[in-house]
Amino acid sequence: MAERHRADVLVSCLHGRWPELIPALQEEIERRGLAGEVDVVEAGCRGLCAMGPVLLVEPDGLFYTNVQPADVPELVEETLVKGRALTRLAYQEPVSHQAICRYEDIPFYSKQVRHVMRKCGMIDPESIEEYIALGGYQALGKVLTSMTPEQVIAEVSKSGMRGRGGAGFHTGRKWESTRKAPGDARYVVANGDEGDPGAFMNRSLMEGDPHSVIEGMIIGAYAIGAHQGYIYVRDEYPLAVKNLGIALERAREYGLLGQDILGSGFDFDLKIVRGAGAFVCGESSALMQSVEGKVGEPRPKHFHATERGLWDCPTALNNVETWANVPLIINNGAEWFASVGTEKSKGTKTFCLVGQIENTGLIEVPMGITLREIIYDIGGGVPGGREFKAIQTGGPSGGCIPAGLLDLPVDYDSLTAAGSMMGSGGMIVMDDHTCMVNIAAYFLDFLKEESCGKCTPCREGIRRMLEILTRITEGQGEMADLQTLEVLAKTVQSASLCGLGKSAPNPVLSTLRYFRDEYVAHIVDHKCPAGVCKALIEYYIIEELCVGCGLCRRKCPQEAITGERKALHVIDPAKCIRCGICHDVCKFDAVGVR
């Protein structure tokens, strides 16, 4: 048996590094006259090599990591002479997070570039302090103290920023026209109406980082010379309204809104206007009517809002995402902003990824990313092993883009060329169980309800198109209908008063362009290839799969299924109402659709 000592120092995880550590320990122990009492042992690996060299002092069980030769005198003094733990080097139970991947490595985030959304989900939206601590309102300070309004506009112009609401007008140019327009009062307005079903980018931004929108608006107001601004939010977004309200209040308390902001002599204040949730009020001129307290209806565009907008005064109206980009441009410079994106579409864009997609959520990607990257790399593809069929971008009045165009870069011009649009950023993914005629009818049904009715092409045109589409889905269509649809669509597109009417035929035109064979199948063969349109499908029992369990027979509400136990069952098409219950309940996939 080895000689007994008062204490042992076990050194491990050296792995050939720090050869001088053990001699240094021995020397120091000898110097302090402890040589007979304390032994130094080189021990085996403790699996903490990353924290090596590791020292274990027995019998006290004191455990030290990352011990360097320079630490030796202090360590011997404290631990071996005075018998105290040296907390500086003591091992702390780590939160074992190494096996968990970093956010940047999660596939959902690895292809994203989060500029506008960088603080969403990271900071407390009710706390202006957190926003300021992380660099908030610095851009405003920079603008008010060291930039003229013209310089601000020049910087925004140089960045190539285009409106995030969908139309893609150059933000700098819009501000410049507003600044130059004659008139005393001017206004800035944020469009937070976001009426597209399945889109929630703006809501998340207003909820998660309201100060970024507010800061952008104050900068914009300074640039165009406005002293009053409005944030138009739909009342269906109660949390956004609440968080914006808190944010405005806190900003006023800090003197970031109101009189003489940051001692610069610039006055500006903001007000929240709650919208009642009409789709048309997302249209700029209807929105301004609504702010004025009038019925939300668009007006002809003989003159622009930049000259005669809110109360006939020059108005810069931008989407909330556009406003939230402004502080980034000021802080980091136009070149930084323009370094991301394509030649004509700069920066990043937020999208809502919904529908038949594995990772439903809110994403921010550089302009020019392909649809394939968005759907497969970020979205994780279509669930259930189904096949991707189409993606609709730009909300209900966007177009459906087929699988053949998956490598299309996502920017304003490419999407428009493909018959769709950027819109505010909704993306609805559809799988092979989606009937494109039915989906076109579905979107037109939404648009029919939401059409304000002020102009005839939109009010009547959408209705007539919907009637034809419904007829086709019921198997009553004729080939001549397709031509009528195209004529109607072109008329609505060219003659409607506002952008919503002009874009409403997109679902029809794009499905006719890319999925014409499905229309033909409905009309000529009286078949719905996706198996959706009830009038055109038939449920039947697949002979070789049916085991005669009788489940479908018992579940059928029409008693349309007959068959003996353990024998083949049969569906009577005359009684069947195509509810699909038999198809859903069959455990053997023995109910087919044709």
Given the complex with other proteins, which of 109 and 540 has the nearer CB atom?
A: 109
Given the complex with other proteins, which of 1 and 99 has the nearer CB atom?
A: 99
Q: What is the dihedral of CA 402, 403, 409, 414, to 10 degrees?
A: -20
Given the complex with other proteins, which of 144 and 437 has the nearer CB atom?
A: 144
Closest separation between CB of residue 155 and other proteins, Å? 16
Nearest of 88, 91, 87, 79 to residue 28 by alpha carbon: 79
Closest separation between CB of residue 513 and other proteins, Å? 31
Closest separation between CB of residue 255 and other proteins, Å? 3
Distance CA 594, CA 579 (A): 14
Closest separation between CB of residue 423 and other proteins, Å? 19
Given the complex with other proteins, which of 332 and 470 has the nearer CB atom?
A: 332
CB-CB contact of 187 with 313 (8 Å): yes
Closest separation between CB of residue 313 and other proteins, Å? 29
CB atoms closer than 10 angstroms to residue 581: 17
Distance CA 535, CA 251 (A): 59
Match 């049904």 to its residue by tokens: 445
Closest separation between CB of residue 334 and other proteins, Å? 13
Strands 426-431 and 388-393 turn out to be: antiparallel
Given the complex with other proteins, which of 358 and 460 has the nearer CB atom?
A: 358
Given the complex with other proteins, which of 296 and 341 has the nearer CB atom?
A: 341
Which two structure tokens, joined as six digits, stand for 502? Answer: 């002009």
Closest separation between CB of residue 119 and other proteins, Å? 6
Closest separation between CB of residue 115 and other proteins, Å? 6
Given the complex with other proteins, which of 176 and 196 has the nearer CB atom?
A: 196
Which two structure tokens, joined as six digits, stand for 296? Answer: 């939300």
| 3-class SS string, 432-499 | CCCCHHHHHHHHHHHHHHHCCCCCHHHHHHHHHHHHHHHHHHCCCCCHHHHHHHHHHHHHHHHHCCCH
Given the complex with other proteins, which of 264 and 562 has the nearer CB atom?
A: 264
Given the complex with other proteins, which of 69 and 361 has the nearer CB atom?
A: 361
The amino acid that residue 588 corresponds to is: F
CB atoms closer than 10 angstroms to residue 159: 26
Cα atoms in the 13 Å half-sphere on the side-chain side of 384: 10
Distance CA 381, CA 366 (A): 19
Closest separation between CB of residue 99 and other proteins, Å? 6
Which run of H or of E encompasses 129?
helix 128-133
Distance CA 281, CA 584 (A): 41
Which two structure tokens, joined as six digits, stand for 266? Answer: 């610039």
Closest separation between CB of residue 207 and other proteins, Å? 5
Given the complex with other proteins, which of 122 and 295 has the nearer CB atom?
A: 122
CB atoms closer than 10 angstroms to residue 94: 10
Closest separation between CB of residue 353 and other proteins, Å? 9
Given the complex with other proteins, which of 134 and 567 has the nearer CB atom?
A: 134
Q: What is the dihedral of CA 334, 336, 341, 342, to 10 degrees?
A: 60
368: left (phi over 0), alpha (psi -120 to 50) or beta: left
Closest separation between CB of residue 89 and other proteins, Å? 17
Strand ranges, E, within 288-419: 315-319, 348-355, 361-366, 388-393, 400-402
Binding region for other proteins (CB under 8 A) = 93-97, 99-106, 108-109, 112-115, 117-126, 129-130, 132-135, 137-138, 141-142, 144-145, 200, 203-204, 207-209, 237, 239-240, 243, 253-256, 260, 262-263, 328, 331-332, 336, 358-364
Closest separation between CB of residue 252 and other proteins, Å? 9
Strand ranges, E, within 321-397: 348-355, 361-366, 388-393
Given the complex with other proteins, which of 1 and 95 has the nearer CB atom?
A: 95
φ and ψ at 549, to 5 degrees?
A: -75, -25
Distance CA 59, CA 309 (A): 81
List Cβ neighbours of 333 (8 Å cut-off, separation of 6 or more). 155
CB atoms closer than 10 angstroms to residue 555: 14
Given the complex with other proteins, which of 379 and 396 has the nearer CB atom?
A: 379
